[in-house]
Structure 1
């Protein structure tokens, strides 16, 4: 079966937090026999910051950032059995959605795949005439990067025919334990781009503990923090390519996950970083959010902090031996239950069941 997937970028993780999710899930889906083409616009300098070559398991089509090129790319949806428009493509998202729906052939499965459900739902609730809101009834299915029951209920209330969360996961071939690298040495490391929906929480969960624990070493990676005032014991290293994420996670004593405010409030939204860190065997501290126990067991496979004081206290209590034990248990858990192979098997069942139902209805 052929999938036409319209997303932000598969070949570049630059200002593109969904890259790991796309890569892991689509590679695993390809093993189920899907012929996948990923369409991405040439915007935000992502093509200048490619961190992987076009893969063998998916054809990548990069189209120019103009309306004519978008329409040409969208027209290719007519050749697919399954058409996916992701959220946050980054160039004329509403027009792209309309064009791929119009181009999809009768009988094709039409899907909106939301990789930032809290932000999308907030926009839909504020704008009753939002193009996506009007299009929901014409879509067969909404899949989401996370969100659990609250997101499913919200999408159904807005008119979606069905909504199913497909959570982040681990790609063991990409994220796995590696030897430590001195340049990433720290007592606590955090990796995340500077975003309005996250900055206040980074101040509370990362910078406040750094100020409290002046003798400890803190490592900050991610784009956009260069003009942010930082405590002297914080080493800022800028954008960290995905090829370095394993060492970034493996080397420090512990690493920190800080959810964006909307994700934390919604719950059931584990960030990609959670599985990257666990897959590297890292000891992870995460901010508290509802549903964490569905993925990792607090206190045994992950440490949970309610605020910056908790982070500092956990760091002071943590021994190197316990950190290693937590990391080992987290790795075992995600390999057993939370790989992209697990997620792709679920998606494959969803696709095939719905296509059979549509064929039967014709």
Structure 2
């Protein structure tokens, strides 16, 4: 099928946590015979921080963030069998959801793909006339990269015909073990951009353990942390490009995952970092959230912390041998159960079933 996908960015992970997700899923869908065009705006300096050239498995269209350019890319939705508008494009979101769904052919499959369901639902629930909320009953699917039962119920109660979580996963060709690099050596590393609904949890789960263990070394990567007060045993890297993620994950004794407030409260929301780290064979320490056991087994494939003191205790007791054992067990689990090949199979089945229903009708 010909898929027109309107998202934040395929070519850049700069201030764009969904890049790994888009790449893994769309690459697999391409392998299954789908013809994909990804439309992304030239915004937020992402094109100046590309970590990927246009791939051979998708046509990449980068358009200026202008009204005229918007009209041109919206009109191309009429050529597709499947039209997808993703959340969090960052510019023209309301115009895109209404425009591309109106431009789509009557027989096209229409999808809203939510990469931040808690934030989207918080925005549209109190606004009956929100463009996305008005569009929900017209869509074939809402797909989300996390959220589980609470998100499915919330979307269907707002008028969506069907909501299906398509969870984050690992692409073994992209995230895999590599030799450690000295510049990424640490006892505990964390990678994540500085966001308002994550900062307090970073203070608790990362900076507090650093204060409790002044003799250990901590490493933080991601945008926005340059002016954050941190202890002398914490080193800040800034933006870490996708090509550097494997070494970032294999070099420390352990890697920390910290969910944003909304994701932790909603549950069933593993970040891309969970699978990037475990796919590389890292020993992962994560904050606790409902649904974690659906993806990894506590104590065997992941270490779980309820607060910063738990993180410090895990780290103090962690030996290189146990770190390696946990990392290897986690990698086996995600390669068996949580790859983008499996997620692509789910999406492909949904699309083909929808196309069959349309043809029968």
Q: TM class, shorter-chain normalised? A: over 0.9
Match of 2:255 in 1: 255
2: distance between equivalents of 1:332 and 1:286?
18
Distance 2:342 2:141 in 1: 20
Offset at residue 195 of structure 1 (A)? 0.3
2:296 alignment partner, SS class: coil
TM-score (norm 2): 0.99
1:96 aligned counterpart, secondary structure: helix
Structure 2 distance, partners of 1:89, 1:124, is 16
CA-CA distance at 1:128 after TM superposition: 2.0
Residue 194 of structure 1 aligns to a residue in which SS?
coil
Q: Secondary structure at the match of 2:125?
A: helix
| Structure 2 unaligned residues grouped into runs of 5+ | none
In 2, the alpha carbon distance for the partners of 1:101 and 1:240 equals: 35
Hey, what does 2:174 align to over in structure 1?
174
Specify the alignment match of 1:244 in structure 2: 244
Aligned to 2:48: 48
SS at match of 1:346: helix
1:359: how far off?
1.6
Q: Which residues of structure 1 form unaligned runs of 5+?
A: none
Match in the other structure for 2:25: 25
Measure the CA separation in 2 of the matches of 1:33 and 1:352.
12
SS of 2:285's equivalent in the other structure is strand
Name 2:37's counterpart in structure 1: 37
State the secondary structure of the residue aligned to 1:126. coil
Structure 1 SS opposite 2:323? helix
Matches within 5 A, 1:51-66: 51-66=51-66
Size of the alignment, in residue pairs? 361
Q: Aligned with 1:354: secondary structure?
A: helix
Runs of 4 or more above 3 Å deviation: none
Tell me, what secondary structure is at the counterpart of 1:347?
helix
| Separation (CA, whole Å) in 1 of partners of 2:161 and 2:68 | 31
1:81 maps to which residue? Answer: 81
Q: Secondary structure at the match of 1:113?
A: strand
Contact 1:220/1:236 (CA < 8 Å) preserved in 2? yes
State the alpha-carbon separation in 2 of the partners of residues 167 and 68 from structure 1.
35
Provide Cα deviations, 1:144-171, integer angstroms capped at 9, x if missing partner. Answer: 0110000000000000010000000000
| Contact 1:2/1:34 (<8 A) preserved | yes
Q: Name the CA distance, whole Å, in 2 between partners of 1:303 and 1:253.
A: 13
Contact preservation (8 Å) 1:71, 1:96: no
TM-score by length of 1: 0.99
Q: Is the 8 A contact 1:39 1:63 kept in 2?
A: yes
1:314 aligned onto 2:324: no
SS of the residue aligned with 2:335?
Answer: helix
Pair 1:212 & 2:212 matched: yes
Q: Deviations over 1:193-248 (max 9, x none)?
A: 00001000000000000001000000010000000000100001111111000000
- Residue 67 of structure 1 deviates from its aligned partner by 1.2
**1:141 equivalent in structure 2:** 141
Q: Distance in 2 between matches of 1:193 and 1:34?
A: 32
What does residue 190 of structure 1 align with?
190
Superposition deviation, residue 33 in structure 1: 0.2
Residue 126 of structure 1, CA deviation: 2.4
Q: How does 1:266-345 map to 2 (within 5 A)?
A: 266-345=266-345
Which whole-Å CA distance do the structure 1 matches of 2:155 and 2:91 have between them? 23
The CA deviation string for residues 4-59 of structure 1, in whole angstroms up to 9 with x for no partner, is 00000000000000000000000011010000000000000111110000000000
1:117-136 CA-partner distances (Å, limit 9, x unpaired): 00000001122221111110
- Secondary structure (helix, strand or coil) at the match of 2:190 reads strand
For residues 135 and 333 of structure 2, the distance between their equivalents in structure 1, rounded to whole angstroms, comes to 39
- Corresponding residue of 2:153: 153
Q: Give the distance between the partners of 2:218 and 2:212, measured in 1 at CA.
A: 12
1:11 matched to which residue of 2? 11
